[in-house]
């Protein structure tokens, strides 16, 4: 996407599959920017373990902490890769202390850095007692790491500055007394976090982390459904949609629906039930992706990510299964933190504008709300961060050739509302009789639930005090 190249950030999650030794790895790379946490949280519903990449110079950032909380809530095992050791970094003992203090999990360093920045010389593997060195080559490239033996090896001593060598020896002695030993059962239960150090840009430490991660990480996990926990070894095919992406190839206007397979065997051209509509659907054009490369997929198994390319009328959260008793409810619902309108600047493009908006809303780029009593003919958009609105605008203009303009709304806070004792014959679409603070409005979300939009946080307490017969929530109520 052009915006990603211009700003140097990821605005959408990426899905790819690759094989490494005897393993098949489904990698879901998520945006690190706060404004795209909705996409990230949805992707986390499809994973069995998570690798959190920490900048060695910055430590834990706000978004990292949010993602950790989601992983912990879902019981996802967490592995940590502390990156950018080739740049000036914070002391490694300070970094793992911060990880333990902020995240509340005991850290288990699998390897340990030898220096940082221009004096970064490699890592010491605490499990094998081997040092992996790398050596700078012309034009900033790096040679493959070389295992040279223990920390006391003469080759290691000669490769490191005496100061770095002595500090590393002292830190390793401290680690033996301060940190726990690796406990696989505890790691898989989310009670311990293995930590690796390296430099991804220079492809150093990545292979070491990948190989140990594959040995430690769990296989495909079960998922809860209306029929109870579904074991991945169950014969019935089942999976859920966690991501939709249109125009991945702008020349073909294609649309990819990403499905996490939970159980059973997928076979190309098989028929499954879309539990939302109850109808049978033939899954014909299934592909696996690696960057821009695509390959037709004839079979896939539990844990795999399936990309269905075509005009499938699926939505995020839909269950696809051969057994209609299985229905998943994996998708979290999000609390918007900002609101805007996105207007079509050229009425002659109205058809393309509506088609583009409909597709982008299906992808979950933003949420749409109908403001009660409003004369506006376009929906109010809500998102976690304002950059999501700019992405919608850029995609409407770039992919649908629809010039449009953003306009902020007066609201900044949402409170979902429902009656404590609803009347038996009450129509769900009837607006609740809520006494609204000044400048506030009622709105309906895409699930036909009511919420109150307020211009300032201090009005929340006033809203609650005025309406004792209603209950309120900062997030959508659980269904």
Distance CA 339, CA 352 (A): 23
Per-residue pLDDT reduced to its tens digit, 241-296:
999 887 766 665 678 899 999 999 999 999 999 998 899 999 988 888 766 677 88
Q: Which residue has the tokens 């900048």?
A: 55
12 has pLDDT over 70 = no
Per-residue pLDDT reduced to its tens digit, 60-87:
887 778 778 878 888 899 999 999 999 9
Distance CA 91, CA 167 (A): 11
Q: What is the mean pLDDT of residues 361-369?
A: 89
Per-residue pLDDT reduced to its tens digit, 321-357:
999 999 998 787 778 889 999 999 988 889 999 999 9
Tell me how far the alpha carbon of residue 360 is from its chain's centroid.
Answer: 18
Structure tokens that stand for 290 in this block: 């690696």
Strands of 275-386 (E only): list them: 279-283, 286-290, 293-296, 299-300, 305-309, 319-321, 338-344, 367-371, 380-383
If you count them, how many residues does the chain have? Answer: 479
Confidence of residue 37 (pLDDT cuts 50, 70, 90): low
Out of 199-208, 220-229, 438-447, which region has the weakest mean confidence (pLDDT)?
Answer: 199-208
Distance CA 375, CA 372 (A): 9
Instruction: Confirm if 125 and 194 have CB atoms less than 8 A apart.
Output: no
4 has pLDDT over 60 = no
Looking only at the bridges linking them, the beta strands covering 193-197 and 107-109 are parallel
Helix (H, G, I), strand (E, B) or coil at 286: strand
Per-residue pLDDT reduced to its tens digit, 385-428:
888 898 899 989 988 899 999 999 999 999 999 999 888 887 88
Q: Which residues contact 375 (CB under 8 A, 6 or more apart)?
A: none
**For the residues of 416-436, what is the DSSP string, one character each?**
EEEESS--TT--TTSPP---P
Q: What rounded mean pLDDT belongs to the chain?
A: 88
Structure tokens that stand for 50 in this block: 């998570």
Instruction: Confirm if 35 and 384 have CB atoms less than 8 A apart.
Output: yes
Instruction: Confirm if 111 and 130 have CB atoms less than 8 A apart.
Output: no
pLDDT at 461: 96
Going by the DSSP 8-state scheme, the letter that residue 215 receives in this structure is: H
Burial of 248 (0-12, 13-18, 19+ CB in 10 A): middle
Instruction: Confirm if 276 and 297 have CB atoms less than 8 A apart.
Output: no
Q: State percent of the chain over pLDDT 90.
A: 56
pLDDT at 436: 96
Phi-psi region of 43 (alpha: psi -120 to 50; beta: other; left: phi over 0): alpha
Using CA atoms, how far residue 81 sits from 31, 59, 182, 296, in Å, is 16, 11, 16, 33
Distance CA 338, CA 389 (A): 10
pLDDT at 439: 95
Instruction: Confirm if 43 and 316 have CB atoms less than 8 A apart.
Output: no
Out of 91-100, 190-199, 417-426, which region has the weakest mean confidence (pLDDT)?
Answer: 417-426
1 has pLDDT over 70 = no
234 has pLDDT over 60 = yes
Per-residue pLDDT reduced to its tens digit, 312-328:
889 899 999 999 999 99
Structure tokens that stand for 172 in this block: 């390793």
Q: What is the pTM of this model?
A: 0.86
Q: State percent of the chain over pLDDT 70.
A: 91
Distance CA 353, CA 396 (A): 7
pLDDT at 139: 46
Distance CA 374, CA 265 (A): 49
Q: Of 353 and 139, which is predicted with more confidence?
A: 353
Helix (H, G, I), strand (E, B) or coil at 465: helix
Q: What is the mean pLDDT of residues 372-389?
A: 88
């Amino acid at each position: 996407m052009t915006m990603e190249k211009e700003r140097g950030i990821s605005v959408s999650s990426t899905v790819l599959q690759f094989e490494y030794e005897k393993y098949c790895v489904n990698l879901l790379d998520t945006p690190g920017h706060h404004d795209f946490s909705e996409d990230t949280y949805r992707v986390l519903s499809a994973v069995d373990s998570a690798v959190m990449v920490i900048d060695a110079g910055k430590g834990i950032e706000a978004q990292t902490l949010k993602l950790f909380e989601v992983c912990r809530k879902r019981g996802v095992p967490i592995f940590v890769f502390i990156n950018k050791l080739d740049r000036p970094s914070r002391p490694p003992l300070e970094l793992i202390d911060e990880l333990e203090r902020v995240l509340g999990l005991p850290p288990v360093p699998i390897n340990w850095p030898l220096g940082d920045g221009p004096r970064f010389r490699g890592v010491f593997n605490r499990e094998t007692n081997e040092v992996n060195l790398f050596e700078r080559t012309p034009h900033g490239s790096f040679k493959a790491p070389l295992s040279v033996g223990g920390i006391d090896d003469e080759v290691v001593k000669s490769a490191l500055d005496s100061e770095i060598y002595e500090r590393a020896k002292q830190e390793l002695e401290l680690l033996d007394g301060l940190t726990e030993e690796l406990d696989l059962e505890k790691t898989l239960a989310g009670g311990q976090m293995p930590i690796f150090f390296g430099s991804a840009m220079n492809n150093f430490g990545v292979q070491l982390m990948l190989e140990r991660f594959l040995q430690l990480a769990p296989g495909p996990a079960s998922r809860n459904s209306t029929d109870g926990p579904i074991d991945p070894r169950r014969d019935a095919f089942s999976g859920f949609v966690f991501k939709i992406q249109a125009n991945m190839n702008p020349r073909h206007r294609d649309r990819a629906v990403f499905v996490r397979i939970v159980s059973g065997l997928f076979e190309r051209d098989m028929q499954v039930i879309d539990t939302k509509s109850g109808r049978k659907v033939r899954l014909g054009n299934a592909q696996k992706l690696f960057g821009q490369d695509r390959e037709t997929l004839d079979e896939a198994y539990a844990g795999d990510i399936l990309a269905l390319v075509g005009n499938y009328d699926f939505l995020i959260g839909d269950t696809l299964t051969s057994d209609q008793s299985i229905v998943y409810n994996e998708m979290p619902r999000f609390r918007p933190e900002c609101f805007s309108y996105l207007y079509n600047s050229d009425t002659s493009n109205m058809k393309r504008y509506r088609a583009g908006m409909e597709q982008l809303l299906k992808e979950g780029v933003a949420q749409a709300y109908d403001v009660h009593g409003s004369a506006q003919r376009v929906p109010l958009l809500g998102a976690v961060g304002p950059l999501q609105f700019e992405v919608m605008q850029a995609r409407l203009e770039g992919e649908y050739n629809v010039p449009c303009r953003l306009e902020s709304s007066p609201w900044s806070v949402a409170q979902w509302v429902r009656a404590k004792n609803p009347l038996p014959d009450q129509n769900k679409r009837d607006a609740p009789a809520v006494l609204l603070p000044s400048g506030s409005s009622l709105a309906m979300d895409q699930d036909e639930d009511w919420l109150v939009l307020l211009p300032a946080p201090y009005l929340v307490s006033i809203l609650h005090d005025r309406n004792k017969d209603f209950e309120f929530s900062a997030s959508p109520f659980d269904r």
